[in-house]
Amino acid sequence: MPPITPPASLRPLDTLWQPRTLVWVLLAGEAVAAVLALAPGTDGDRLTYFGVASLAIQWISLTALCLLYLLRRRLGSLSPPLVAQIGLGALLLSTWMVVGLAWLTLRDFALIPPDAWTGFALRMTAIALIMGLLGLAAFQAQWNAKQLAVSAEQAKLQALQARIQPHFLFNTLNTGISLLHAKPDLAERLLLDLSDLFRAALSQRDSLRLEEDLSLARRYLEIEQLRLGDRLRLDWDVPAALPALQVPTLSIQPLAENAIRHGIEPSTSGGEVSIRVEVSDGYVQVSVSNTLPPASARAAAGHQVGLSSVRARIHAATQGRGRVDTRIADGLYSAVVRLPLDAPR
């Protein structure tokens, strides 16, 4: 299978609109205003100076955030380091705008001595530049760390896929070989289904529509039903119209394969595999369930390569909002894939 594209993380500007970030911006502004008011060489009433500095800093911060918010669509296509540099420019521009507006509206109220406005403006500019450069350096370090984390996650997904590809192909091929020996009259049908499955496994598409992926799982189960005969009973409960949702290629088939290997094959009397698709509360839920064989006949747990790969790929493709859960209840083992309807298509 082709490598999975790493999940699209939050864009750098998106974090600026989160309540926690806004609170920290306000608190940092108050801290800077306090430092300015208590610094040696401050003329006049320090409490008044703190009030003016606090007002100016908060307005500067909010103005810079508003400028970035208004430009968010244009900045969305730029690289994050360049966006950070533009953010520094927005901070300096906001500083000059706010200080200039304060001078025009407040100079007659004697909050700051007339000859102190120039020094105040230079000081605010210097502070904005220093704070901006520190923020830029911190962002660069954080961005580099995030890139390394994304690269590590992608390497982990590629390793999982490198394991599941031969695992899937060899198991499916062995199933086909055993069926060809037992029922040669079904060879043509088998080869057509195997061809579709191999084409999907070796294709360069990292995602399929949910309907297509379910179709591949259906073909795999039909092959297994031909091999196992009456030992395998299938129950499909799928709506006629499915959401146009993209899922990682071969997300359902490995779960169906686990159901056959661990639920049906170990039992002499066979069992039932059921696939159900439900849509509710903004999510699509795909359940693959199988009856449990007698305890004495259960197969070894194995390495769960297929399940691990599906879980990791669903998590990556949905940015952590989708998941794969497993449970045992009422004599059934179920693997449940939960996908958000508003996932990228």
Residue ending a domain, choose from 126, 150, 174: 150
Handedness of CA 111, 116, 117, 121 (dihedral sign): negative
307 and 232 in a single domain? The answer is yes
Q: Are strands 232-237 and 271-280 parallel, antiparallel or unpaired?
A: parallel
Say what the pLDDT of residue 6 is: 35
If asked whether residues 55 and 113 sit together in one domain, one would say yes
3-state secondary structure at position 43:
coil
pLDDT digits (tens, 9 = 90+) for 211-232: 988 988 898 888 788 778 889 9
Helix (H, G, I), strand (E, B) or coil at 39: coil
Q: Whole-angstrom Cα distance, residue 271 to residue 265?
A: 9
pLDDT greater than 60 at residue 2: no
pTM of the model: 0.53
Residues 134 and 266 in one domain: no
In the chain, the amino acid numbered 84 is A
| C-alpha span between 52 and 272 (Å, rounded) | 74
Q: Given 99, 131, 150, which residue is the final one in a domain?
A: 150
Distance between CA atoms of residues 79 and 147, nearest Å: 13
| Bridging pattern class, strands 332-340 and 283-291 | antiparallel
Higher pLDDT among residues 302 and 124, named by residue: 124
309 and 192 in a single domain? The answer is yes
Question: In which domain, by residue range, is 91 found?
Answer: 12-150
Asked if residue 172 is part of any domain, the answer here is no
At residue 312 the predicted structure's pLDDT band, cuts being 50, 70 and 90, is confident
Is 252 within 8 Å of 286 (Cβ atoms)?
yes
Kindly indicate the confidence band of residue 335, based on its pLDDT and cuts at 50, 70 and 90: very high
C-beta atoms surrounding 145 within 10 Å: 10
Task: Determine the average pLDDT of the residues in 113-134.
Answer: 77
Taking the C-alpha atoms of residue 194 and residue 176, their distance in angstroms, rounded to an integer, is 8
For residue 165, tell me if it sits in a domain.
no
So what's the pLDDT on residue 54? 81
Distance CA 154, CA 43 (A): 57
Q: Are residues 194 and 325 in the same domain?
A: yes
Query: Is 245 within the bounds of a domain?
Result: yes
pLDDT value, residue 44:
65
- Run of H or E including 283: strand 283-291
- Mind listing the pLDDT tens digit for each residue in 48-106? 778 777 877 788 888 888 888 888 778 777 777 787 788 888 888 888 888 788 778 77
Q: How would you class 166 by CB atoms within 10 Å of its CB: exposed for 0-12, middle for 13-18, buried for 19 or more?
A: exposed
pLDDT of residue 22: 77
Instruction: Decide if 175 is inside a domain.
Output: no
Q: How far is CA 46 from the centre of its chain?
A: 49
Report yes or no on 36 lying in a domain: yes
Q: Give the list of residues 6+ apart from residue 209 with CB closer than 8 angstroms, or none.
A: 242, 244, 245, 246, 247
The residue with tokens 């923020």 is: 135
Number of domains in the chain: 2
Give the residue, 253 or 46, on which the prediction is more confident. 253
Is the pLDDT at 7 greater than 60? The verdict is no
